[in-house]
Structure formats: C-alpha cells, structure tokens
Structure 1
Amino acid sequence: MEILLQKEFVFHPEDDRTNRIISFETERNYDHLEFVCEYSPKTISDPDLVAREVQKGMDKSGWTGRKLFPADMDECKVLMNFVTFSLDHEGEYVGCAHRHDPEQVIVISEQGSSRGFFAHKAAKGNWRIVLNVQAAIPEHELTYHLTVIGCDKPAYTYRPFEMHCHTLHSDGRFTVHDLAHAVKDYGYVGFALTDHNTEAGQAELTPELEAETVPAIRGIEWTTFFGHMLVLGCEHYVDWRFALPEDIDTYTAQIREAGGIAGIAHPFNIGAPMCAGCRWDFKVKNWDDITYIEVWSQEDPMVRTKNIMAIEWWTNLLNEGHHLACTAGRDWHCKDSEDVITTATYLGLPEGKVTQENALDALRAGRTYVTLGPTMDIEVRQDGKEYNLGDTLKTGACEVRVDVRLNERRDMWEKWGIEVREIALTGPAGTKKYPYRGDLFCVQAEGDRWLRVELYGDKDGQYGQLLAMSSPVYFA
C-alpha cells in the first residue's frame, strides 16, 4: 500500500458549476488503485438560506406564481453540495462516480472496477481526475479531501472449493473420476474427497485426473455414533471406530499429530431415528484441535433450520474465545437432477495457487468465507498494517474494507436473482448493516474479541437473505 496523492480543496460558492482538474503520475503498475473521496458539508438546512435560494431557483425556472405540490416542497427542505468524480488514464476515459454519497472509495482494477468505471489496468503513466462541482451551497465553503492509494496484489487470493463430497466408495453415486469432472464443471478450483469412514477412493485421485480436472484434498468423513467429522490431510490413517463423547479430544489430538485437521460436519442435523450419528454429541474440551465448523450444509443452506442453528452455535463458540473457521459443504453424493442454489467455500491461498497443503494452511489460519455466489476481498487495517481473515489484532479501532465482486462462477448463481443489498459487520455486540452501493466498502469499526463480514440481499424472490459470511478476525 503506497499513498500516491493527498490533497485538500476548498470550494467557494463562486465555484458552483466549475471543474477542478488534478493530474498525477504513477511510476509503476499496481494491482489496483483506490481513490478515497470525502467532502463536507453535504447539506445545509438553515431555513432562511433555504427559503431564499429556493425562491431564486423558482424565479429562474419560471415557477413564480405556480401552485406547489407536497412533492415539490419535499425537494426544497435542504440545500445540497454535490461534487462528482471522473477519471482518465493517458487520455482514455475510465468512468465517473455520479453519486450523492459524500464519502466514497473508488477502485480501479483490471479485474473489475467500482460501478460507473470500466475495468482498467492500474498502470503507470498520467492519470487525470476531474472534480465536477455540480452544486456549491451559497454563503458556505465546501471542503474536499482526496487520497489516492496504489495497492499491490494481496498476499492471498481466495479461490472456490467444494468441501464435502462422496463417491461409490461410500454412499455416493459418483465415481471419483465423475466427481472430479463435476467439480470442475461447477466452477470450483478444488474439492475435498470425504467418503464415509474410508480413504480407499484416494487411490483414484491420480496426477493425470487432477491435471485434467482440479486438485483434491485427501480426506475422510468420520461417521460415528455421536457425530460426523471431516478429517483432512492426515499423513496416516487414524482410527475413528471407538470414539466416545467424553474422549473425542484424544482422537482430535491424534489427527493433529498425523498432520491433519478436523472440522465438524452438519452439527445440527436431526439425529436418530432420522439419521443416527448425524447430530454432533461429542463433548469437546480442547477446541484448539478443531479447525472449522461446516456452518452451511447442503444446497440453498439458509432454508434449513440446521444451518441457522449451526451459525448460532458457531457464534456462541466465538464469544467464548475459540478460534474457528467457517466452511460450506454440499454433502454432494450425486449429479443434480435439477438446478440448485449451490454454495462455495473460498480459501485464501498464496498467489491463488491451488494445492492440498495451501488449502489446509488456509483452513488452519482461518482464511475462509462461504457464499452463494458474490465474492469478497476483505482487508482489515490497523496502525498502518494490513490484516487477513483469521489474524489477531489488538483490541480497539480498525478499518474494515470489503470489495464485493460479481463475476466469478456467475453462471452458477445469477439465475437465482442474487443481488447484494447490504454489507454487515457482526461481532459480540451483534450485527450492524450498511447499504451496499457498488463501491469499495470502507468503515471504521471497534474491534472486540472477533468480527466477521456478511452480505445480505435478494435471492430467489426473497429479500434480506444471508448471501455470504466470512471467518472472523480476532482481537486481543
């Protein structure tokens, strides 16, 4: 992160309907540029000034003597400053933010820019900003702050995985070959092979198959009398058959010693007699050996009570001080007979490189989020440092930045009318929602114990639906 330009401008009433041009040079390429724009005051409600200016406007517009309707009067209660932002690079028009928000963060990137702007490489060369003063309130000054930040590619790129799959080696209907191809067809870059109580299918994960499709995480779903656990990446087999509710910590320690990780699958499935052992009844004492919780199980997860209960339980565990990542898993057994609302678990990988070890490291570190489609680039800043999901910051103020993107795996989810309307921050004190306007979301937050990001919006004709949710950052 490099500050390329910081400017403060003062506009006077006589600057109404004028342009202010700011040019600057970048000496190298960046992953993206951020333009942080803020001006104040936005509105003035002095009744005498408003009355005078409204009368002037009416006289100029030929409204004198006309009957005014209530809707007319509603538009004449306050005066508004209005400054828009447009951008060129090397003489090429990049776009414009014609929006009334007095605080905006505009992102320019080859991968996708803020709404109103074309995708454009954050390249070296001459950049020109034009501030268009659409309206400057008489008798008052307007202060405009502009900061331009050059940002390099983040250390971790988040990629989509399917984290819970079965084949003919247990109760699935996929061959390993067909599963790998189905995963690729659905736009995932990797998957976890988690057959019930067997690793036999892993022998069919040949280098040729993974090169032809996508890399796999070797795993197993421990399917016991007292709960199901997704065990990934063990260097040797760990026996699952004799685990009891009171001694599960002994088994999770063995998994850790074997180089693997443990995640709790669908903890609030209905158990016996519907599905003996599907509900989580183990008594965990050492939560350090549990890496994640599958908070979303199956397709269209938020129409299922078990997933609402799983999120509530996960939240309570976070409040108790445990560090636990979230995942989603389709519990995928066979080809879909009809279109379904799928989920994805995004894992933060170094340079986006998909390997089993990178995936396991992301889970261990808590670099995960789950989504029905829209993707998130999340960064938390504090004292000039940048933090990733799963990191621990000091308790206190921080800046949360969320860049929502709508292009990855789009053919899998846009048919369901998924549209982001709100960004939310959830922590021990509850959830605070903010409107999503298409720009980089940036807000100051007070960190206490943990904080996660959520997206809400439309889905399949329903409003206010949870669309995505991240693992937390932590505070100590």
Structure 2
Amino acid sequence: MNETLQKKVELLNSQMVVNQSSDQSHISHRFFLPEGIESLTISFSYSPKFVEYGPENQEIVRKAFDFYDDKLAKNKKVIKDFSPFKNLLTISIEDTIGFRGNCHRFHPEGYEIHVSDENSTPGVLNREMKSGMWTITINCHCILSETCDVQLIVHGTQSINQDKRWYNKPFEDIKKIDFTTNKESKIPSKNSAYSWKRSEIHCHTNHSDGVQTVEELVSKANELNISCLAITDHNTMSATEKLEQLEATYGVKLMRGIEWTTFYGHMLTLGYDQLTAINWSNVGPTSIEESIQEVKKEGAIVGIAHPYQLGSPFCTGCYWEYETLNLDYYDFIEVWNGENPHISRINKAAFETWTELLNQGARIPATCGRDWHVNETSKQLAFLYLYLPENPTIVDMRQAIKRGNSFVSMGPQIEFNAANEYISGDVLSVHNQDQINVQVDISEYNDSYAIVIDSNVGAVYRNDCEGDIRQAVEVKTNIDSQQVTWIRLLVYSDRRELIAFTNPIYFEAETYES
C-alpha cells in the first residue's frame, strides 16, 4: 500500500453501466487527494459513443421531434441526416477550493484530462493541488443507447511517501496535543435539586444498522430505568423526527444525536438544537475540525467514539485515525464502549489514554456507550450517570456531559465529592490547603469490592469494602513534592475488574503575583 517517490498512485477506479434513466443526470465520485500529489491524470471513456436509430431509442427521438417540430418525425431524411446519434457524457472537477473546470467535448475515443498547478488540460483551471476531498462528476448530457458502459480512472503523481489506506494512531503523541485548562468554572455543582440519572448516549435503530425500531428502543430504555437517551444513528438523524411524542409515551428524555461514521474514525455528536442534516462525506482524513465546527453551530457537543476499535476492513472507520493536535475541539472521549465493557482490551487502551491526557493537564470527560444495536442481551451493561435536575433540558444534558458531571457504573451507585460540594467535573481551588476532605458513598451493591481514589500521582487511598459504605477521606494536595491536580474514584470487583469510575475532580493551586 505504501507508494514511493514520483510513482503513479491509483486514487479512483470506477466502472459502471448506465441506462436511459440516467439521461440528464450527474453522477459524482468523491475521493481523497493525499499530500504530495503534484498532478492528476483522469482517464475517461464510455461506450457506445454512436447510436443508430432503432427500437431502443425511436420513442425518445419521436417525442423529441414532436416537441420541436411534429413535421420532422414524418421526414425520414431528417432522421437519416441526424443518424448516427451520439451519447454525450462529460467530466466536471471540484477540488477543495471549489469548482475547477469542465471538459465539455465529444471524443470518438476515450480521453485523458491532466490537472496540475500549471499545464492543465484546457477547460481546467491551473491552481494549487491542495490535499483534501475532491469530486469528479460524470455529466450525462444524453444517453440514447439502451445501456452505456462507463469507465473513470484517476491516477496521481506522488512526490512523497504516503500510505493511502491508514493514517494516524489515536493520540499518537500526547505531549504534542494542545488544550485549554482555564475555561472551567470554579463554582461547585452540588445542588439539592439535582440527582444522578441513568443515561445512555450511544445507540442505533433501524434507521441505520440497529435491529430495533425507534419506539422499541425507547420502550426498552424505559424498561431499563434509563432517564435520558441519545439516539445516535450512523450519519442520519431521521430517527429523531418524533421525539416529543415518544417522550410523552415512555417518560424518557430524548436527545438528538448522530454517530458521524467516517472512513477514518467515528464521532458522537449529541444534543442538536433541531432536526438537521450535515453531509459527512465532505470529511477527509485531515479535515475533521472543519466538520466539528459545523456540528457545533447546530448546538451539539462532540466526542470521540471507541478510538481503539479495530478499523477497516474489520469495522469500517471505527479506529480513530485523525491527527488530534487540539483537544479543545472535543467535549468528551468514549472510553468504555459496548457490552461487557470492563473486560474489553480496546476499552482498557482508551482508559489508559484518557489517564495520560489527564496527567498532561487536559480536562476532558470520559463517557461510556453501549453502542446499542440489539435490545436483548445476556451480557453486562454499563451506564452513564449524569448529574441533572428533576426535569432536565437538552442544555442540562449537554452541560453535564461536557463538564464531566458524571460517572460510569455497571452497578454501584456513587456519591463522590470534595469539600462537601465539589463533584466530578468541578474545579476546586486548593490555595494554602494541605489536604481536602473527600466523601465517598457506595450503595446498591452487595458484593465485596475495593475502592481506590486515584490521581495524577497514583492511588492516594484504597479500601476493601462490602455492601453500602460512607467514608470520609483526607486527601493531601501535595504528595512527595508533586501537586495533586485531579482525583477520581475507581471501584473494582472482587475479581479485580474495574466496574465503575467517576470523572475527575480537579485541584487547582492558585498563584498570586506579588
């Protein structure tokens, strides 16, 4: 797959058969132009070019003559003068900037079109060969034959090594990732009018590749005591056209979402202000940030889904291949995906990456998602618990996910706060404080388990427990001359499997200029 210096690279090869129903239509082909392509050669041919007057086209010809001049249809000499008729198909080209040109000409044989920053074929603009998504459109001006065979092949002359199929590994160099850490509010979130609500933010219906209908999904969510549900079909929002009616019937708060399913990674987009449609196919392997900005204009938040899931050809586009240089574009990372998430190798990799990002100073929340495709399962499920008011709005749900006012659990219910009022996702100023009182409550779990208060300097507290507990722990803000910048609660089963975790509470040591 790896191409070498100054080699021709095949970027597109399409062969098709069109018929008379494609007359006066446009058939577009989108492809990605990698970095280092200096020129394109577009080979285009179709057959037949010439069409004799006969049974396959006489009705079309007769109707045309009737429209223009009904006397012509009776004049056999006129038909003979026009014969043979011509199929006419041409090529239009769009690059990342816009429309680049059209080659509107009839060639008895196939022909080649050259595209470069200079010396392009007449009809095509000379300008920069910019990497990104390009479109070549076959313009079907006239098809008079019963069928027409079409071939379109695009080659690029490449000046650098480039692997066309796979691009980047997720978060390949964490130390190079930029992020902002001073945007969070330091106002505590704990509120007596709020509670932890069971939620699911990654699910599919028969509007994409899910088995269940929308109503069957929402009904099952109600049965599972899910309070908030985001419907995230692949590249479509059509399943969310009648949310209000379903909410009234089943008592589940519903949120519009889409799982952007690109060739180079999947992205959860949640909480759109209204029903909308955004064309995912505009996205190449280097242009995801532009699409994220487009999504956020619609009010939605954005998270990376299952970044380490095996990708093409096993699970098309599931592996996160986008170069992630600025974390501020993303509002969360799905670190637990699927059923039985606690024993998944890919989830462990995502959890470890999330921890590394936290240790680098990033403040990005983690979520879980069942990736719900089938209602019935015998496997264990995890749920995302959001801190919400009794009757939450979409804005409330978006904010809880984005701030990290949430925890993930396969059973235990968690209360985890610092200084009695700061919960997961909050930022606590620890200026001139040697230690912080942390409260840990575990309920609704009868088996033995272990709790760990984890941090950027490692575990700061551990205890073996059974049944409901309430514990107060004093956590130092500086350990072995290292500043504690975040803490989170981890819960392990008696088999030493992680079964629940919170998002961090962040500690910020304020400094004052003299």
TM-score, scaled relative to structure 2: 0.57
Aligned to 2:76: none
Find 2:496's aligned residue among 464, 467, 471: 464
Matched length? 306
Match of 2:232 among 183, 189, 194: 194
Partner of 1:443: 473
The corresponding residue for 1:426 is 454
- In 2: Cα distance, 1:270 partner to 1:311 partner: 16
User: 1:197-236 counterparts in 2 under 5 A?
Assistant: 197-235=235-273, 236=276
Deviations 1:146-199 (A, max 9, x none): xxxxxx963531110111110010001110000000111112112110000000
**Cα separation, 2, equivalents of 1:237 and 1:322:** 31
- Computed over aligned residues only, the root mean square deviation of the Cα atoms, in angstroms, reads 2.0
Where do 1:175-324 residues align within 5 Å? Answer: 175-235=213-273, 236-324=276-364
Q: Distance in 1 between matches of 2:253 and 2:381?
A: 20
Q: CA deviation at 1:249?
A: 2.3
How many angstroms does 1:323 deviate by?
1.5
Partner deviation per Cα, 1:184-237 (whole Å, 9 max, x = no partner): 111211211000000011113233554424111110000001110100112344
Do 1:325 and 1:363's aligned partners in 2 also have CA atoms closer than 8 Å?
yes
Moved over 4 A (4+): none
CA distance in 1, matches of 2:285, 2:459: 33
TM-score (norm 1): 0.61
Q: Is the 8 A contact 1:343 1:372 kept in 2?
A: yes
- TM-superposed CA distance for 1:247, in Å, is 2.9
Which position in structure 1 is the counterpart of 2:395? Answer: 357
2:448–2:464 Cα contact (<8 Å) kept: no
Mapped to 1, the partners of 2:421 and 2:251 lie a distance apart of 34
Mapped to 1, the partners of 2:357 and 2:454 lie a distance apart of 14
Structure 2 counterpart SS, 1:386: coil
Unaligned runs of 5+ in 1: 1-151, 408-417
Tell me, yes or no, if the aligned pair for 2:198 and 2:228 is still in contact at 8 Å: yes
1:269 counterpart SS class:
coil
What is the CA–CA distance in structure 1 between the aligned matches of 2:448 and 2:438, rounded to whole Å? 18
2:303·2:334 contact (CA, 8 Å) conserved in 1? Answer: yes
Separation of aligned partners in 2, 1:240 and 1:362: 26
Structure 1 residues 244 and 444: CA distance shift in structure 2, 3 A: farther
- Checking the alignment, whether the CA contact within 8 Å between 1:248 and 1:284 is kept in structure 2 is no
Per-residue displacement from partner, 1:268-322 (whole Å, max 9, x unpaired)?
Answer: 1011221121011112233123111111111111211000001001111111222
Report the secondary structure of 2:498's partner residue. strand
Partner in structure 2 of residue 348 of structure 1: 387
CA deviation profile, 1:54-109 (whole Å, cap 9, x unmatched): xxxxxxxxxxxxxxxxxxxxxxxxxxxxxxxxxxxxxxxxxxxxxxxxxxxxxxxx
Secondary structure of the corresponding residue to residue 400 of structure 1: strand
Distance 2:338 2:214 in 1: 20
Partner amino acid, structure 1, of 2:456? P
Match of 2:429 in 1: 394
CA distance in 2, matches of 1:394, 1:201: 44
1:110-156 deviation per Cα after TM superposition (whole angstroms, max 9, x unaligned): xxxxxxxxxxxxxxxxxxxxxxxxxxxxxxxxxxxxxxxxxx96353
Structure 1 counterpart of 2:210: 172
Q: How far apart are the structure 2 equivalents of 1:315 and 1:405? A: 26
Structure 1 vs Structure 2: percent identity of aligned residues? Answer: 34
Q: CA deviation at 1:250?
A: 2.4
CA separation in 1, counterparts of 2:246 and 2:289?
38
Asked if the contact 2:386–2:405 (Cα under 8 Å) also holds between the matched residues in 1, the reply is yes
5+ long unaligned stretches in structure 2: 1-189, 478-483, 509-514
Secondary structure of residue in 1 paired with 2:395: helix
> 1:36-65, CA deviations, whole angstroms, 9 ceiling, x for partnerless residues?
xxxxxxxxxxxxxxxxxxxxxxxxxxxxxx
Larger radius of gyration: 2
Residue 240 of structure 1: how far off its partner (Å): 2.4
Contact conserved, 1:176 with 1:205, CA < 8 A, in 2? Answer: no
Give the counterpart of 2:194 among 137, 143, 156: 156
